[in-house]
Structure 1
Amino acid sequence: MSLRDRMPPAHPFDDDKLKEECGVFGVVGVDNAASVVALGLHALQHRGQEAGGIVTHEFGQGFSSARRFGYVRDNFTDAETMATLPGPIGIGHVRYSTAGSKGATQIRDVQPFFGEFSMGGAAIAHNGNITNALALRKELVDRGSIFQSSSDSECIIHLMARSMGRKIPDRMEEALRKVEGAFSVVAMTRTKLIGCRDPLGVRPLVLGQLGDGWVLASETCALDIINATFIREIEPGEMVVATGKGVESHFPFRPAKSRFCIFEHVYFSRPDSILGGRSVYETRENIGRELAKEAPVDADMVCPVPDSGTPAAIGFSLESGIPYAMGIIRNQYMGRTFIEPTESIRNMGVRLKLNVNRALVKGKRIILVDDSVVRGTTSRKIKEMILEAGAAEVHFRIASPPTKWPCFYGVDTPQRDKLLAANMTEEEMRDHLGVNSLKFISIDGLYRAVGEARGRDQASPQYCDACFSGEYPVKPSDMLDQGFEMKTPAE
């Protein structure tokens, strides 16, 4: 993640959504590793669309790398590019930038990062956010390190360079012990594929097997695309080292209670992935059911805000008995560089991505189910489109609690004063959006939907829910130094 100030998305057609910042993938012991990595990254494209990179190694040729802006399908499918990435081992990364457009994001910020050490080279790809990166960077620069990017992930390479460990996995362990925040790391040497999760396990990482080779990925959907067998999730605080001889595992960090990001269940992960042994799709359907129990409303039709609201809308419909219909259709073929945004095109905004199915909604009382409300700009536009199409009423049901706090663990979140729920009550938000009713699932209801029968009311929550509760499991040191104010007892 960039260390520059957080900015709203610069692209005029971006959804008003939280953005997962990256996905990681790695493979060892396969023919043509780069092609396998490219397929895995394609499956993880939802986790980052700004840029991607691949590093491979071939004996006799050394390390090779390619980093590009844009989609995987546009950059890592042609034979010419893939021919420059030979070898049986490789890692890759897809990135979502937090600081403006492609022009503001330098190619040097695109991962994986590479370092040459006395015992050989290593490349690393990181999903998450280092909350003490500014302090680490200052210390490293003061001691002579020269940074090539603005990414917090590069700190790991410099910390590894200063380690006295005899092997690269040892150096990585020592480096990661100095890091605070959230990290799922995939790294490679000439012969080893390495994966590691932070002690709280905030971000996901899974292990798979492909023939005699091994795979690491952010989500199980990336295993499916290459027909790999899902073995298990990497445990919080675990490091695995995979070679042609198998997989070794150990736990280099002090044990801690898992605090996996609950928003992975709500929105970030693909619905065909498995998290914690649970289908993401089924969990989102359960969220919709809980929402229907908590916030019923008399209406004629349940419609999702596509595509992320679809499973929850189905669950709401099944629980409430109100018919489900695709009242909004998404244009699946609009790219990020659709047209030069003149003022008139810019004002079209959401209409370029979404269109109302007028024949279905006219004269109906509509329940719109969405995954979240961030700034509220898109929600207002969708409401206006539904009413213009002749709907009698519009009721919003949101499949997450109000997002009141920024995330510092690998999610692009606006500053707190830009979050609608941080500045308005639910009633004020309803009036601001101009809808007949607005209800969010409770945090207890969300916990029940993800399998915690007692809800959040227990001694210590199983998940990181800081964006809803303001209770940060890892102190955001850098942001506190810059003036961020933590939750007070009164809040």
Structure 2
Amino acid sequence: MPCFPDRSPFDPAWNEDRLREECGVFGVVGVAEAANFVALGLHALQHRGQEAAGIVSHDPAQGFNSARRFGYVRDSFTDPVLMETLPGPIAIGHVRYSTAGSKGNTAIRDVQPFFGEFSMGGAAIAHNGNIVNALDLRREMIDRGSIFQSSSDSECIIHLMARSLQRTIPERMKDALRRVEGAFSVVAMTRTKLIGVRDPLGVRPLVLGKVGDGWVLSSETCALDIIGAEFVREIDPGEMVVITPEAGVESHRPFAPSRPRFCIFEHVYFSRPDSILGGRSVYETRRAIGAELAREAPAEADLVCPVPDSGTPAAIGFSQVSGIPYAMGIIRNQYMGRTFIEPTEQIRSLGVRLKLNVNRALIRDKRVVLVDDSVVRGTTSRKIKEMILDAGAAEVHFRIASPPTAWPCFYGVDTPQREKLLAATMSEAEMRDHLGVDSLRFISLDGLYRAVGSEARDPAQPQYCDACFSGDYPVAPSDMIERGFRLKAAE
């Protein structure tokens, strides 16, 4: 994730009021034309990053090859001419999240995977997450002569590997990652080995699959499905796997044991609903969140409507428990790409209406419960409310399938500064008045824990990373503290 240059945290499109995951990673070893499998996997992970994608492959005859492109995977990596430049039985790839003005703020050199040539051979890495001590590491290595090519915190890993005195790439990677703080799920490759690592807290997901005689690493199980791979297991927090077709999977534990703190927002929004997290269907979890929300925050209404697409499973659960009919009151335009909204300010000003349209015949004169995954700044929520009222709705009630987002994330999620988060400065009642809706309720943090199948939240040792709701950061964000950010305990 790029953490050094100043940049706007929001796309000027309708989606300006969403939390966004930064990226997805995918790797394959032991199959013919591995890069084609990676391209398919990245396509399935496109929801985790839409700005750019990259693939690195290795062929015994041609060595390492790479391709990095801005835009969607489908627009570049379906080109057979391009894919012919990425031969070999091993490859890794990365999709990167898009930010406002991304092609002005981001150079192609920022697009992963990153590659380094070492004395024992080349290696490429793709990283999902965020390194919270990257500024300190970067300064230290620049002072000692390192020359950085990108603005990404992920490049620190390559430079730390270069400075290691270990004799193999996996051992150098262990050395490097022991110095890194924050969240990281890494997929890496050498000429013959596919490597996967999760940080000791396991904040970001990483799974292992089997396809034919080969092996797969992926951010989510949905990307295994697209290539017909069998899900084997999740990579454990703090685990490194080194995979070759001959030896199979070797497991290492290079970090001191820690209590896992998986990102709870992966259950709420980031992961695809057809993925499996912790042995549990993401769709079923989101449906359970909606059911819990209906028990905690009932409403008198005629229809339950999701804010598509992320609010759909929760809306179904809310409807099932409340007995209020479920309806598609808002229709999403599935064919409107990002480029369509960029040309003029007049087009941008249309905002939500380019992406969503109200089913007027259904909504008119109805009391409507809108179920959404989160409220960040409230901009999109207000626009959607206005659309619903313009269509003739009698009442608008918001039910939110996550607790109030009052704290920024520093572990790989694109969030604004804290003062721009609605819940950081307003009570629930004040947010209701600000949005201009008849009622507004969020699921409680304990309710969210129940919905994901966990015991009640332990304030002393939370089972998940829920810092965006609680302000309880499992790893102190040292770079941001240096810039003046105040932790909850300091307020």
Question: Whole-Å Cα distance in 2 between the matches of residues 162 and 488 of structure 1?
Answer: 36
Aligned mates of 2:467, 2:292 — CA distance in 1: 21
Deviations for 1:83-119, whole angstroms, at most 9, x for unmatched residues?
0000000000000145642121110000000000000
Q: What's the CA shift for 1:339?
A: 4.7
SS of match in other structure, 1:248: strand
Query: In 2 relative to 1, CA 331–97 (structure 1 residues): closer, same or farther, beyond 3 Å?
Result: closer
Look up the SS of the partner of 2:287 in the other structure: helix
Counterpart AA for 2:432? R
1:347 aligns with 2:349: yes
Q: Report if the CA contact (8 A) 1:6-1:415 is conserved.
A: no
User: What SS does the corresponding residue of 2:102 show, helix, strand or coil?
Assistant: coil
CA contact (8 A) 1:129 1:152 kept: yes
Query: 1:266 — aligned with what?
Result: 268
Instruction: State how 1:26-425 maps to structure 2 within 5 Å.
Output: 26-98=27-99, 100-245=101-246, 246-425=248-427
Deviation at 1:16, TM superposition (A): 1.4
Task: Please give the per-residue CA displacement for 1:408-445, whole angstroms capped at 9, x wherever unaligned.
Answer: 00000000011000011111100000000000000000
1:467 aligns with 468
Q: Which runs of 5+ in 2 are unaligned?
A: none
Displacement of 1:345 after TM fit? 1.7
- 1:251-284 CA distances to partner (integer Å, 9 max, x unpaired)? 0000000000000000000000000000000000
Show the counterpart of 2:435. Answer: 433
Supply the AA of the counterpart residue of 1:480.
I
Where structure 1 has 5 or more consecutive residues not aligned to the other structure, the ranges are none
After superposition, give the CA deviation of every residue in 1:25-82 in whole Å (9 maximum; x if it has no partner).
0000001001000000000000000000000000021000000000000010011100
The CA distance in 2 between the partners of 1:57 and 1:238, in whole Å, is 25
**2:137 aligned counterpart, secondary structure:** helix
Per-residue CA shift, 1:227-255, capped at 9, x if unaligned? 00000000000000010121100100000
Q: Is the 8 A contact 1:54 1:91 kept in 2?
A: yes
Please give the per-residue CA displacement for 1:5-39, whole angstroms capped at 9, x wherever unaligned.
35232433434100100000000000100100000
TM-superposition CA deviations, 1:429-477 (whole Å, max 9, x none): 0000000000000000000000113x21464111000000000000100
- C-alpha separation in 2, matches of 1:339 and 1:219: 29
Contact 1:24 1:91 in 2 (8 A): yes
Q: Would you say the 8 A contact 1:207–1:231 is kept in 2?
A: yes
8 Å contact 1:309–1:370 — kept in the other structure?
yes
SS in 1 for 2:196: strand
Q: Is the 8 A contact 1:97 1:105 kept in 2?
A: no
- Give the TM-score, by structure 1 length: 0.98
Q: Deviations over 1:297-325 (max 9, x none)?
A: 11000000000000000000000000000
Change (3 A) 1:483 1:458: closer
Change (3 A) 1:489 1:106: closer
Q: For the residues of structure 1 that align with 2:132 and 2:18, how far apart are their CA atoms?
A: 22
Q: 1:15 to 1:306 in 2, by over 3 A?
A: farther
Q: Secondary structure at the match of 1:183?
A: strand
Residues 306 and 194 of structure 1, relative CA distance in 2, 3 Å threshold: same
Q: Structure 1 CA distance, aligned partners of 2:250 and 2:80?
A: 34
Q: Counterpart amino acid of 1:41?
A: L
Superposition misfits of 4+ residues, deviation over 6 angstroms: none
Does the 8 A contact of 1:21 with 1:98 survive in 2? no
Superposed, 1:447-466 pairs within 5 Å as 447-453=449-455, 455-457=456-458, 459-466=460-467
Residues 13 and 341 in structure 2, CA contact (< 8 A), matched pair in contact too: no
For residues 101 and 6 of structure 1, the distance between their equivalents in structure 2, rounded to whole angstroms, comes to 9
**d(CA) in 1 for partners of 2:213, 2:374:** 42
Once residues 321 and 252 of structure 1 are traced to their aligned partners in structure 2, the CA distance between those partners, rounded to angstroms, is 51
Instruction: Give the whole-Å Cα distance in 2 for the aligned partners of 1:64 and 1:159.
Output: 23
Compute the RMSD of aligned alpha carbons. 1.1
Pairs aligned (count) = 489
DSSP-derived class of the 1:488 partner? helix
SS of residue matched to 1:199: coil
CA contact (8 A) 1:67 1:110 kept: yes
Q: What is the Cα deviation at residue 346 of structure 1?
A: 1.9
Conserved? CA contact 1:303–1:367, under 8 Å: yes
> TM-score normalised to the size of structure 2?
0.98
Once residues 32 and 62 of structure 2 are traced to their aligned partners in structure 1, the CA distance between those partners, rounded to angstroms, is 15
